[in-house]
Amino acid sequence: MSDDEQQRNHSQPGSLLSLHDSPVVRAIYLSVGFLALFLGAIGAFLPVLPTTPFILLAAACFARGSEHFHRKLLENRIAGPIIIEWQMYRSIRRQVKHWVYLLMGISFSSSMFIVPEIWQKMMLLGIGLILVFFIWRIPAR
């Protein structure tokens, strides 16, 4: 990568783009990035599988594996601002946190309504409370 390309890549807001030198390693990063993106998409619909960590992992992998897919992810209207916020400030916007709490509440309460056994309901409640505590500890701007 030339000096001009490196300067351009690092001047983009929130960009940590630093492609790996080896095409084989870039392909591995790209594969892991797509797997993480897929798991993040599934996590948007499943109550226990988190979405945001997988999307952040995909962004990190794409930053090392593919300039095109890294840029596409940063340009996404939903994921892009969240990724840039995390890369620049290691925080989550307060509005995003509120959405996370709301969606977690809906997801976990509907799951607790569906499962028949009390131990399953208690397990979901415990997991939900742990996730709420984890999200609460992340700084908000």
Domain boundaries, the chain: 1-90, 92-141
Token digits for 12? Answer: 């983009």
Residue type, 12: Q
Mean pLDDT of 86-91: 87
Residue 16 CB coordination number (10 Å):
15
Each residue's pLDDT tens digit, 28-67: 999 999 999 999 889 878 767 778 788 889 999 999 998 9
Residues 6+ apart with CB under 8 A from 44: 51
Residue 6 CB coordination number (10 Å):
13
What DSSP state is assigned to residue 13? T
Report how far residue 116's alpha carbon sits from residue 133's, in angstroms, rounded to the nearest whole number: 26
pTM of the model: 0.67
Residue 15 has what pLDDT?
Answer: 52
